[in-house]
Structures are given as structure tokens and as C-alpha cells.
């Protein structure tokens, strides 16, 4: 059977939107879960998990995180990973070298956190009085917060939990040891396989782009990336469809009948694995989706936090959701200019909006 774009589209939707399971199993199956702080009407990580975790409610990940074998960290973006995936990236060497004075501060903070077990940034700031510093956006922030961020990035600390959205730190679990070149190559291969598992099937250009984003996770192995990409292209499943080279896990067949999307309507976050690759999105559905939260309001075409509307294996429009006085408010736009007239679509959309209400724990 000749592989077609229809096969790839159905495969992409069905493999990512698997049957809802437990929270640990869902994140293990995803491999990586991107996080974002915007709530519209909930954070991206919650909006992603609600489709994949049975009985999921907004905030469940944050509430359960301290008891789960997960880590917050940079991968291709910032998010959550199973601990065994996280360990592949460390010890991490940051692109910006610290001065001896900065390392002295870090060792003092590490001792402070170790003695207490966990520490909130305000506790560190109150104890050490590091003062203020200029942040990446040109504003002022606590120097202690910036130091803790750097210690977390370098693997000295881990996020133990969050309080009101703020990271509370603990000493990392286990010690990271130096990695030989041959081991680094094996780790890069494993990390690239995680990327492919999360976002497959991937056009060749997107695979290369994601490997570039992996600089956030393993800047110390930048010089090994080109060879890792070459190895990946040799071991992955691949085919050329309509002039585009595609890649996916070698043990899967996109043509298999097992990849059959259901007929539900789903409102997807901009960071959902089905949506994330805008290049693939346009190939599959023939229109450009843009995340416009940081676009000036007068220039927005879809809305502040437009959620692509997936019906079966077709993304037919977008929705903007908000909660006003405890009630869910929704507006929709459609590529064809209006909603499908099919009564089954209306019923499926109503069912999805009710699932959102339950997820947000809204009354009525």
C-alpha cells in the first residue's frame, strides 16, 4: 500500500491522542510535556493532559508532581520529563561560564538548600540578600532568583514543587558524572528518539529544527548534533510523500489500520504535540495557525489564545475560551467561514465543551 498524506495525518492524530490513561503513563508515553504559564482558560500542560489522562482536572499535575518520578527542565522547550529522560541531559554545561565568585555563591546556596531540604526563592533571598539584577527582559529581578535558575539549569538543584506558581527547589536526586564522547553520542540518540516519539511523524525540516532546539537541553553536545541527525535518519522509519521526507519511530507503520482517529471534537492547546509543528500543521490541514498571545491585539486574526478545533483527523477552525463569573464563555472561527452543519459535529462540540467545564470544575 502506497503511503499517502492521509495516512500520515491519521497516524499523527491517533498516535498522539491515545486512549486516556494514568498521569504517569501519559507523560511516559508522550516522552516530553511542554509547559507554559498562560491560563486561557488553563495552563498548556493541563490542556494537553486533559485529553490523555482519565479524569484529569486542571492543576492535577502541579498537585501530584512532588510524588511522581518527573522533572521540570529544559528539553527542546521548558516542560516536564520522566526522570530517566531528564538524566540523559546531565551533567549539563551551560553556555555562559560562571565566575569563581558566582560558584562560591552557588555552593553556599546549595548548602543552605541541603540543610533545609527545600527552599523557596524568597527564603534564599532573605538569608543571603543577593540584591537585584537586570533580567533577560531588561527589567529588575532578585539576584537570588536568577542564581537559583542557573543552579537548576546546571543540574545542582531540581524543582521539588511549586507554591503559587513559584518553583521551590531541592538538591537534585543522585549525582551526575562526566560523560565520555561515546556515551554522549548514545545519549543524544536517545534524546532524539524521545523527540521523534513526542512529535512524529515529522517532516525532515522539522526534525532538524527540533534537534536545533535541543541546544537548550544539551548545549555541551552542540558539536555532536549533525552526526546524531545523520544516524537518526538511518535508523528511523522514513518515506517521501508529495516531495517531503517524513520520519517516525522505526517500529511503527503509518499505514496500519490501528491508527484510526475517533470522531470526537477536541480543543487543543497551541503547544499540543498535534499542533506544535506549524510546518506540519499547514501540510496536513492547508491553513496557517499562529499563536497570537504576544501579538498586539489589533493585529490578531485568531485571538489571544486560539485553540485549534480538531474534529476526527481534521482541524477545521479555532476557539477562544474564558471563564467569566464562574461560567465558560466560548467563541469560534472556522476555515470555511461557518461551522459544519452536520448535527454530529454540534453534538460532539457540545460534549467537548462539557468536558472542559468538568476539567475546570465549573458549576452548571
Return the closest-CA partner of residue 3 out of 252, 175, 206, 220.
252
Kindly state whether residue 15 falls inside one of the protein's structural domains.
Answer: no
State the average pLDDT over residues 48-69.
98
SS3 assignment for 197-261? HHHCCEEHHHHHHHHHHHHHCCHHHHHHHHHHHHHHHHHCEEEEECCEEEEECCCCCCCCCCCCC
The percent of residues in the chain predicted with pLDDT above 70, rounded, is 96
CATH number of the domain at 145, please: 1.10.10
Question: What pLDDT, on a 0 to 100 scale, did the predictor assign at position 140?
Answer: 38
- Please give the grid coordinates belonging to residue 49: 493532559
Look at strands 244-248 and 166-171 and give their pairing.
unpaired
As separate numbers, helices (DSSP H) first and strands (DSSP E) second, the chain gives 13, 14
3-state class (DSSP) for residue 70? strand
Domain membership of residue 38 (yes or no) is: no
Q: Which of 133-137, 155-159, 222-226, 313-317 has the lowest mean pLDDT?
A: 133-137
| Sequence-distant (≥ 6) Cβ neighbours of residue 328 within 8 angstroms | 41, 321, 322, 353, 356, 357, 360, 362
Is 50 inside any structural domain?
no
Per-residue model confidence as pLDDT tens digits over 107-143: 999 999 999 999 999 999 999 876 555 544 344 357 8
CA dist list (Å): 228 to 76, 203, 211, 222, 233: 15, 17, 9, 10, 9
Q: What pLDDT does residue 136 have?
A: 43
Identify whether the C-beta of residue 51 lies closer than 8 Å to the C-beta of residue 352.
no
Nearest-angstrom CA–CA distance, 274 and 234: 25
Confidence at residue 20, expressed as pLDDT on a 0 to 100 scale: 98
Within-domain flag for 268:
no
117: in domain: yes
Q: What is the mean pLDDT of residues 46-51?
A: 98
Give the pLDDT score at 138: 46
Supply the DSSP symbol for 119.
Answer: B
Residue 106's closest CA among 71, 176, 155? 155
Compute how many other C-beta atoms are within 10 angstroms of the C-beta atom of residue 78: 14
Q: Tell the burial category of 331 from Cβ atoms under 10 Å away from its Cβ (0-12, 13-18, 19+).
A: exposed
What's the rounded Cα separation, in Å, for the pair 129 and 271?
Answer: 37
Give the pLDDT confidence of 23-48 residue by residue, as tens digits: 999 999 999 999 999 999 999 999 99
Residue 132 confidence (pLDDT): 53
Tell me, yes or no, whether 261 lies in a domain.
no
Determine the structural domain holding residue 125 and report its residue range: 100-171
Overall number of domains in the chain: 1
Angle subtended by helix axes 181-199 and 225-235, to nearest 10:
60
The string of pLDDT tens digits covering residues 194-235 is 999 999 999 999 999 999 999 999 999 999 999 999 999 999
Give the pLDDT band (50/70/90) at residue 178. confident
Within a domain: 114? yes
Give the model confidence (pLDDT) of 252-293 as tens digits.
999 999 999 999 999 999 999 999 999 999 999 999 999 999
Q: Is the pTM of this model over 0.85?
A: yes
What pLDDT sits at residue 88? 95
Amino acid at each position: 500500500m502506497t503511503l499517502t498524506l492521509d495516512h500520515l495525518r491519521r497516524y499523527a492524530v491517533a498516535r498522539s491522542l491515545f486512549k486516556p490513561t494514568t498521569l504517569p503513563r501519559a507523560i511516559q508515553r508522550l516522552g516530553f510535556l511542554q509547559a507554559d504559564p498562560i491560563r486561557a482558560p488553563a495552563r498548556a500542560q493541563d490542556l494537553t493532559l486533559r485529553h490523555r489522562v482519565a479524569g484529569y482536572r486542571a492543576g492535577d499535575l502541579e498537585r501530584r508532581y512532588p510524588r511522581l518520578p518527573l522533572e521540570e527542565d529544559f528539553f527542546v522547550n521548558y516542560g516536564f520529563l520522566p526522570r530517566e529522560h531528564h538524566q540523559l541531559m546531565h551533567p549539563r554545561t551551560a553556555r555562559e561560564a560562571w565566575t569563581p565568585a558566582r560558584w562560591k555563591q552557588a555552593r553556599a546556596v546549595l548548602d543552605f538548600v541541603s540543610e533545609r531540604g527545600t527552599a523557596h526563592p524568597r527564603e534564599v533571598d532573605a538569608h543571603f540578600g543577593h540584591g537585584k539584577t537586570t533580567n533577560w527582559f531588561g527589567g529588575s529581578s532578585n539576584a537570588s532568583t536568577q542564581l537559583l535558575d542557573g543552579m537548576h539549569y546546571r543540574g545542582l538543584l531540581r524543582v521539588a514543587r511549586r507554591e503559587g506558581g513559584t518553583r521551590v527547589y531541592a538538591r537534585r536526586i543522585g549525582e551526575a558524572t562526566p560523560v565520555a564522547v561515546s556515551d554522549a553520542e548514545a545519549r543524544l540518540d536517545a534524546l532524539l528518539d524521545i523527540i521523534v516519539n513526542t512529535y512524529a511523524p515529522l517532516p525532515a525540516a522539522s526534525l532538524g529544527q527540533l534537534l536545533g532546539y535541543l541546544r537548550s537541553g544539551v548545549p555541551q553536545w552542540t558539536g555532536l548534533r549533525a552526526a546524531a541527525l545523520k544516524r537518526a535518519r538511518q535508523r528511523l522509519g522514513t518515506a517521501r510523500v508529495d516531495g517531503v521526507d517524513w520520519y517516525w519511530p522505526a517500529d511503527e507503520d503509518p499505514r496500519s489500520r490501528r491508527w484510526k482517529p475517533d470522531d470526537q471534537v477536541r480543543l487543543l492547546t497551541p503547544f499540543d504535540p498535534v499542533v506544535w509543528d506549524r510546518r506540519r500543521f499547514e501540510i496536513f490541514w492547508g491553513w496557517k495557525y499562529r499563536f497570537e498571545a504576544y501579538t498586539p491585539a489589533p493585529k490578531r486574526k485568531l485571538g489571544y489564545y486560539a485553540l485549534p478545533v480538531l474534529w476526527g483527523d481534521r482541524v477545521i477552525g479555532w476557539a477562544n475560551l474564558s471563564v467569566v463569573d464562574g461560567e465558560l464563555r466560548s467563541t469560534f472561527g472556522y476555515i470555511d467561514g461557518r461551522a459544519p452543519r452536520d448535527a454530529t459535529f454540534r453534538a460532539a462540540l457540545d460534549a467537548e465543551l462539557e468536558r472542559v467545564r468538568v476539567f475546570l470544575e465549573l458549576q452548571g
